[in-house]
Amino acid sequence: MKQTSHTFLDNAHTALQDRDKAARRDFMALFTPLIRNAAMDDFGHFEELRQHVKEVRQHTLDNLDHYLTRFEREALHNGNHVHFATDADQLNSIVLDICQQHSARRIAKGKSMVTEETGLNDYLKRAGLRVMETDLGEYIIQQAGETPSHIVGPALHKSAAEIRELFLAKHDLGERELAETSDMVGEARKVLREHFLKAEVGVIGANALIAENGYSMLVTNEGNGDLCANLPNVLIVCTTIDRVVPRARDATAMLRLLVRSATGQPQTCYTSFYSGPRREQDSDGPLETHFVLLDNRRTEILASDYREMLQCIRCGACLNHCPIYAATGGHAYGWVYPGPMGSILTPLLTSLEQSNALPNACTSCGRCAEVCPADIPLPDLLRDLRHDENRQKLSSSRWRLGMRLHAWLARHPGLYHACTGIGIAALHLLGQRKGSFTQLPMASGWTSERDFPAPQGKTFMHQYAALQRADKAREDKSAAVAKPPRRRARPGSGKASGERQEPGLRADWPLKPDPRRPGKTRPGTAGGKGTGKGKPGAHPGGPRGKKPRSRQSDDR
Partner 1 sequence: MTDSSRSRVFANVRQACRGAGEDTIAQELEALGTAPTADLPAADIHTAFLANVLKNQGSVDCVANRSGAVKALADYLYRHFRSHRLVAGNDPHLAAMPWREAGVLPRFGSVEPGEPVALSYALLGVAEIGGIVTLTGKANPAANNLLSEHHIVLVESTRLVRDMEAAWECIERESAKTGRSRGVNFIAGPSSTADIEGKLVYGAHGPRNWHVILMGDVPANALEEAHALAGR
By C-beta, is 191 or 461 nearer to partner 1? 191
Q: Which amino acid is at 200?
A: E
Nearer to partner 1 (CB atom), residue 6 or residue 52: 52
- Which secondary structure element, helix H or strand E, spans residue 202, and what is its range? strand 201-204
Q: What residue type is assigned to position 454 of the chain?
A: A
With CB under 5 to 8 Å by kind, the binding choice for 3 among partner 1, ligand SF4, none is none
Q: What is the DSSP code (8-state) at residue 267?
A: S
Query: In this structure, are residues 416 and 409 in contact, taking their beta carbons and an 8 Å threshold?
Result: yes
Give the interface segment with partner 1, choosing from 8-16, 207-215, 375-383, 404-412 (CB under 8 A): 207-215
Q: Which does 375 bind (CB under 5 to 8 A by kind): ligand SF4, partner 1, none?
A: none
Nearer to partner 1, 45 or 404 (CB): 45
Q: How far is CA 396 from CA 1, 338, 344, 347, 389, in A?
A: 27, 24, 20, 18, 10
Binding to partner 1, residues 172-191 (CB under 8 A)? 181-182, 184-186, 189
For the CB of residue 439, give the shortest distance to partner 1 in the complex, in Å: 41
305 contacts partner 1 (rule: CB under 8 A): no
* Cα separation, 211 vs 246, whole angstroms: 5
Beta strand 106-109 pairing with 511-513: unpaired
Q: Is residue 378 within 8 Å of 341, Cβ to Cβ? A: yes
For residue 20, the minimal CB distance to partner 1 (Å) is: 12
* Residues within window 132-161 making contact with partner 1, judged by CB under 8 A: 134-137, 140, 153-156, 158-160
Contact region for partner 1 (CB under 8 A) — 169-177, 267-275, 414-422, 493-501? 267-275
Name the residue nearer to partner 1 (CB basis): 245 or 358: 245
Return the amino acid letter for 475. E
Q: What is the nearest approach in angstroms of partner 1 to the Cβ of residue 241?
A: 6
Closest among 117, 158, 163, 154 to 134, alpha carbons compared: 154
Candidates 120-128, 240-248, 471-479, 514-522 — which segment interacts with partner 1 by CB under 8 A? 240-248
373 binds, among ligand SF4, partner 1, none (CB under 5 to 8 A by kind): ligand SF4
The yes or no reply on residue 238 touching partner 1 (CB under 8 A) is no
Q: Is 21 in the site for partner 1 (CB under 8 A)?
A: no
* Count of C-beta atoms within a 10 Å radius of residue 470: 10
The one segment of 84-92, 99-107, 466-474, 516-524 that binds partner 1 by CB under 8 A: 84-92
CA distance 395 to 400: 7
Q: Do 214 and 78 meet the contact criterion of CB atoms below 8 Å apart?
A: yes
In the complex, the smallest distance separating the C-beta of residue 128 from ligand SF4, rounded to whole angstroms, is 35
Q: Does 439 bind partner 1 (CB under 8 A)?
A: no
Query: Which string of b and e fits 401-426 if b means at least 16 CB within 10 Å?
Result: eeeeeeeebeeeeeebbeebeeebee
CB of 182 to partner 1, least distance (A): 5
Residues that bind ligand SF4 (CB under 6 A): 261, 312-318, 341, 372-374, 376, 378
Q: What is the DSSP letter of 546?
A: S
By beta-carbon proximity to partner 1, the closer residue of 386 and 549 is 549
Q: Which does 126 bind (CB under 5 to 8 A by kind): ligand SF4, partner 1, none?
A: none
| Strand (E) or helix (H) holding 341 | helix 339-349
DSSP E strands, 275-413: 288-294
Alpha helices (runs of H) in 63-159, residue ranges in sequence order: 64-77, 88-101, 113-118, 120-126, 136-144
Q: Is 269 helix (H, G, I), strand (E, B) or coil?
A: coil
Q: How far is C-alpha 406 from the geometric centre of its chain's CA atoms?
A: 29
Residue 546 touches partner 1, criterion: CB under 8 A: no
Helix axis angle for 413-431 and 397-410, nearest 10°, is: 110
| Residue nearer to partner 1 on the CB measure, 262 or 394 | 262
Q: Which x/- pattern over 482-511 shows residues binding partner 1 (rule: CB under 8 A)?
A: ------------------------------
Residue 313, binding choice from partner 1, ligand SF4, none, Cβ under 5 to 8 Å by partner class: ligand SF4
Q: With binding defined as CB under 8 A, does residue 55 bind partner 1?
A: yes
Shortest distance, position 274 Cβ to partner 1, whole Å: 5
> Judged by CB under 8 A, does residue 75 bind partner 1?
no
552 binds, among ligand SF4, partner 1, none (CB under 5 to 8 A by kind): partner 1
Contact (Cβ atoms closer than 8 angstroms) between residue 451 and residue 438:
yes
CB of residue 28 to ligand SF4, shortest distance in Å: 15
Q: Which does 75 bind (CB under 5 to 8 A by kind): ligand SF4, partner 1, none?
A: none
Q: How far is the CB of 485 from ligand SF4 (least distance, A)?
A: 56
Name the residue nearer to partner 1 (CB basis): 221 or 420.
Answer: 221
Of the candidates 209, 160, 152, 200, the one whose C-alpha atom is nearest the C-alpha of residue 182 is 160
Q: How far is the CB of 342 from ligand SF4 (least distance, A)?
A: 9
Q: Which is nearer to ligand SF4, 214 or 377 (CB)?
A: 377
Contact between 111 and 138 under an 8 Å Cβ cutoff? The reply is yes
Cβ–Cβ < 8 Å for 218, 205: yes
- The residue from 117, 222, 375, 388 that contacts partner 1 (CB under 8 A) is 222
Among 12, 15, 75, 85, the residue binding partner 1 under the rule CB under 8 A is 85
Name residues whose C-beta falls within 8 Å of residue 104's C-beta, 6 or more positions apart in sequence: 129, 199, 200, 201, 234
Is 279 a binding residue for partner 1 by CB under 8 A? The answer is: yes
Q: How many C-beta neighbours within 10 Å does residue 526 have? A: 6
Give one DSSP letter per residue of 387-452, joined into a string: HHHHHTT-S-HHHHHHHHHHHHHHT-HHHHHHHHHHHHHHHHHHHTTTSEES--TT-HHHHTTSPE
Among partner 1, ligand SF4, none, the one that 494 touches (CB under a kind-dependent 5 to 8 A) is none
Contact 305, 544 (CB under 8 A): yes
Q: Is 127 in the site for partner 1 (CB under 8 A)?
A: no
